[in-house]
Amino acid sequence: MGLKIVEATIANFNEVFSKFKEEAANNKANLILFLADKEPSTSLSWCPDCVRGEPVIYKKLEEAGEDVALLRAYVGDRPTWRTPNNPFRIDSRFQLKGVPTLIRWENDAVVARLEDHEAHIDSKISALLSESK
């Protein structure tokens, strides 16, 4: 089946996440990638770490060749993300401090994560993907 990608914004995250969790048992791995929004003028993220990390992450997920579900969650534009009460910053399930953040989600919990400063490192992404269920 390969890589299945769904997207969510702050506005629809809870609805999309509920469906993502319902389907989790059908996948070898369930990942959530928190990203900065894209700038309308450039179609690139305002976050340089996201621009650097995204291609590496997607390449590793495609190479995995297994049933992987990826929920891409956009945290907002720069002012929205910088707000201390951004919904993803204060959500006790995720406790985001930076973007991109790649999370492995199993049994209704975060079991592994790569934060912004390491989310582009090939070997760390591979290790996160190979975490045993």
Catalytic residue set: 47, 50
Instruction: Enter the tokens of residue 106.
Output: 């199993």
CA separation for the pair 16, 31 (Å, rounded) = 13
Query: From the CA atom positions of the chain, what is the Rg in Å?
Result: 14
The identity of residue 125, as a single letter, is I
Q: What DSSP state is assigned to residue 45?
A: B
CA separation for the pair 104, 41 (Å, rounded) = 32
CA separation for the pair 112, 39 (Å, rounded) = 29
CA separation for the pair 19, 23 (Å, rounded) = 6
